[in-house]
């Protein structure tokens, strides 16, 4: 099936055109396209979490961006402090640099 708006091929089980974002409304034998575009906020950005934080939200932000469990990221930071090649000062410095570099999330933590 082709999108009537942009002409790209789309699968018959799709509910939106992946190219232009127009909604496909399936009716009896006809397929109709609406003019309502999908709300797209842009690419996902790494940010410090406002919901899942213990100190500054760095590990919670990594969890939200990459999908890791935040406790695994926290344990990795703790484990890195005991490695002889990294040590506590380097781990602390890396965490402080991440706090400065990664911006805080603009999402309201109580909205969900």
Tell me how far apart the alpha carbons of residues 83 and 48 are, in angstroms, rounded to a whole number. 25
- Do 53 and 107 have their domain in common? yes
Number of domains within the chain: 2
Nearest to 54 by CA among 35, 70, 33: 70
Q: What is the pLDDT of residue 41?
A: 61
Give the pLDDT confidence of 42-59 residue by residue, as tens digits.
677 888 888 888 888 888
- Do 64 and 106 have their domain in common? yes
For residues 101-111, give the mean pLDDT: 75
DSSP state of 62: H
Q: What is the pLDDT of residue 78?
A: 85
The backbone torsions φ and ψ at residue 61, rounded to the nearest 5 degrees and listed phi first, read -70, -40
- Do 64 and 87 have their domain in common? yes
Give the pLDDT confidence of 77-88 residue by residue, as tens digits.
888 888 887 778
**Does the predicted TM-score (pTM) go above 0.85?**
no
Q: Where are the beta strands (DSSP E) in 1-112?
A: 22-26, 31-37
- Do 24 and 56 have their domain in common? no
Q: What is the pLDDT of residue 28?
A: 42
Nearest to 37 by CA among 24, 28, 55: 24
- Do 88 and 101 have their domain in common? yes
Q: What is the pLDDT of residue 29?
A: 47
- Do 32 and 61 have their domain in common? no
- Do 34 and 9 have their domain in common? yes
The backbone torsions φ and ψ at residue 101, rounded to the nearest 5 degrees and listed phi first, read -75, -45
Domain that holds residue 104: 42-112
Residue 97: band (very low, low, confident or very high) from pLDDT cuts 50, 70, 90: very high
Average pLDDT along the chain: 76
């Amino acid at each position: 099936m082709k999108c009537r708006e942009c002409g790209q091929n789309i699968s018959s089980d799709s509910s939106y055109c992946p190219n232009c974002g127009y909604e496909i409304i399936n009716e009896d034998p006809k397929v109709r396209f609406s003019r309502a575009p999908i709300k797209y906020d842009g690419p996902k950005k790494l940010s410090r979490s406002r919901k899942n934080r213990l100190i500054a939200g760095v590990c919670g932000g990594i969890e939200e961006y990459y999908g890791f469990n935040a406790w695994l990221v926290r344990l990795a930071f703790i484990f890195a402090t005991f490695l002889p090649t990294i040590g506590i000062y380097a781990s602390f410095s890396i965490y402080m640099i991440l706090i400065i570099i990664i911006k805080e999330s603009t999402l309201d933590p109580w909205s969900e």
